[in-house]
Structure 1
Amino acid sequence: MDIPVEPIVFGVQLNIHLLFEYLAFFVGFRYYIYLRKRSNNTISSTNRLSIIIGAVFGAFLGSRVFGYLEHPIAISNLTEVLQLLNSKTIMGGLFGGLLGVEVSKKIIGEQRSSGDLFVYPLLLAILIGRIGCFLNGINEFTYGVETDFFLGMDLGDGIHRHPLSVYEIFFLIALWIFLRYKETQFESNQGLLFRVFMIGYFSFRFLIEFLKPNEFLILGLSSIQYLCILCLLYYRKTIAILFSSTNVPQLR
């Protein structure tokens, strides 16, 4: 199989990454609906809708802002504005969505945690999206630096690179298995499943960024790595207790 994959259907070349992105949104949302119907979540439908709206707007803004910060340019014309709107990253989407949810909950006065139901749909959606990134090769900035490591692959430019999308796919599967294994232990603490998901994923992304050919760095770190640090600081209390307590169900 040649990468990038560029299928042609009825004479039209399809964007494989875009197809998998739409599939990720659709399947992830349907999986969320399925889990919500089977859960005993007591948040009212009205409040849940407000939370989802906050998550969507926060994710949209966060993904665009941090997508732009990966490759910042001076904006001087309409083309560059459109480029800004088209820039996006799942990391900014996750953290922006988190902030959007928290703001929405403050506005409507909702105190209960709403994140746990989103964990597995998010994992599934990111997994599907990363398959699209891998198939899109160097057309998507999810490839790694040149390497002679045995897992190195030619992603479309004739250079053996770290296939970061593949690494992430395997990590997400491992994280899913770990969270399922710990799920019963986490049940007595609402929101802990989501917090552990965020801590695990952002920690992984911080490390994997060292294998990307980032050009815009501040003190040796990329904008995504600073976002990871920001997220981990946001969850610093949970991290501290996870490393200092064996009685995880009592976490607050």
Structure 2
Amino acid sequence: MIEELRFGGVSVPAHAFFVGLGVVLASVVFVLEARRRGALREESLVAVTGALVGGAVGMRLSGWAEHLDPALNPGIVEAWMFGARSILGGLTGAYVGVLVAKRLIGYRERTGDLFAPAVAIGMAVGRLGCFLTEAPGRPTALPWGVHAPATVPECPGCLAGQAMHPSFLYEVVFQLAAFGALLWARGRVDRPGELFTLYLGAYAVFRFLVEFTRANETVWLDLTRPQWFLMPGLALLAVRLTYGYRKGFYDRLLPGRGERPLLTGVRLSPAGEEDR
């Protein structure tokens, strides 16, 4: 594991470096996408600010409600200073932050489609920092299993010298694939907000499944806290995506359901032959 990166005579925490780089890259992609869509205005930049502030608050305070028993959770100050840095908490906080920022300035246009590619590429880069500094995942016999030093905290597999799932690299691959898919799909999904909905649905399903390879503690029915956190959202997203599918919002993404050319000026005779 690599705790620090050195640039000349300067040492930088590896996790913070890649998270910061991911935020910068996501911001650049957001600006480029907003410019492409003609939506690069003061209001959209306020939405970005809301996302950054809300994401930071959500990520830092996510450990405040880690346990159902309030007595087991840290105080707000302790959670802010030393709590876990949950990606799901950060995403939730960012979403709320955008809603609050837009509400404050009376901005009603949907901005989710601008954020979707930016979030995907930012997450791909940020997860490299997690891979370099955190416990990889559960033990595995697969040939690409990785080993980590016994000094990595909260990692029984590290102490035992076992090969483990590179679970954070799985997410890097998913986010890069999602970024490419979003760029491909953005010209085929015209309804505002649907691109972001598709990304959220895909990521929620992926994150639920990849948790089976993560080193997170299981709390009930062999499921982790992130999985229990995701289940209500998965149900809501399933309903929302089903609605969009039935309304034809995604027809241009699906083979056989895209727009078909209409025949004009053609009349069939009773025998079935074309009569022009």
What TM-score results when the alignment is normalised by the length of structure 1?
Answer: 0.80
2:187 aligned with 1:184, yes or no? yes
Larger Rg: 2
* Mapped contact 2:46–2:101 kept (Cα < 8 A): yes
Cα deviation code 1:196-240 (max 9, x no counterpart): 111111211111112222225144332212332233344344222
Identity in percent: 27
Aligned residue runs from structure 1 range 1-252, under 5 A: 3-4=1-2, 6-8=4-6, 13-41=11-39, 44-45=41-42, 47-69=43-65, 73-75=72-74, 82-84=81-83, 87-136=84-133, 140-141=134-135, 143-156=136-149, 157=158, 158-186=161-189, 188-215=190-217, 217-242=219-244, 244=246, 246-248=248-250
CA distance in 2 between partners of 1:220 and 1:178 (Å): 32
Equivalent pair of 2:147/2:163 in contact (CA under 8 Å): yes
Number of equivalences: 239
Task: Single out whichever of 48-57 and 197-206 deviates more from structure 2.
Answer: 48-57
CA contact (8 A) 1:62 1:93 kept: yes
Tell me by how many angstroms 1:190 deviates: 0.7
Structure 2 unaligned segments of length 5 or more: list them.
150-157, 253-276
Structure 1 residues 226 and 165 mapped into 2: Cα distance closer, same or farther (>3 Å)?
same
Deviation at 1:93, TM superposition (A): 1.2
Shifted more, 60-69 versus 151-160: the winner is 60-69
Which range moves more in the overlay, 108-117 or 71-80? Answer: 71-80
Higher RCO (C-alpha 8 Å, min separation 6): 1
Q: Report the CA distance between 1:69 and its aligned residue.
A: 4.7
1:12 CA displacement: 6.0
8 Å Cα contact 1:61/1:93 also seen in 2: yes
Counterpart of 2:146 in structure 1: which amino acid?
M
Q: Cα 1:71–1:133, aligned 2, differ >3 Å: closer, same or farther?
A: farther
Higher helix share: 1
- The verdict on how the C-alpha distance between 1:217 and 1:69 changes in structure 2, with shifts beyond 3 A counting, is farther
Q: Deviations over 1:73-119 (max 9, x none)?
A: 543797666213xx212221112211222233344333211111112
Summarize the Cα distance change of 1:154–1:178 in structure 2 as closer, same or farther, 3 Å threshold: same
Distance in 2 (CA, whole Å) between partners of 1:77 and 1:100 is 19
- Residue identity matched to 1:89: S
Amino acid at match of 2:127: R
TM-score, normalised by the number of residues in structure 2: 0.74
CA distance in 2, matches of 1:96, 1:218: 25
- Is this contact kept in 2: 1:95–1:231, CA < 8 A? no
Distance 1:76 1:225, change over 3 A: closer
Structure 1 unaligned spans of 5+: none
8 Å Cα contact 1:68-1:88 kept in structure 2 = no
Q: Distance in 1 between matches of 2:185 and 2:116?
A: 13
Q: Deviations over 1:13-59 (max 9, x none)?
A: 54211111121122221222233233222x751x3244233323322
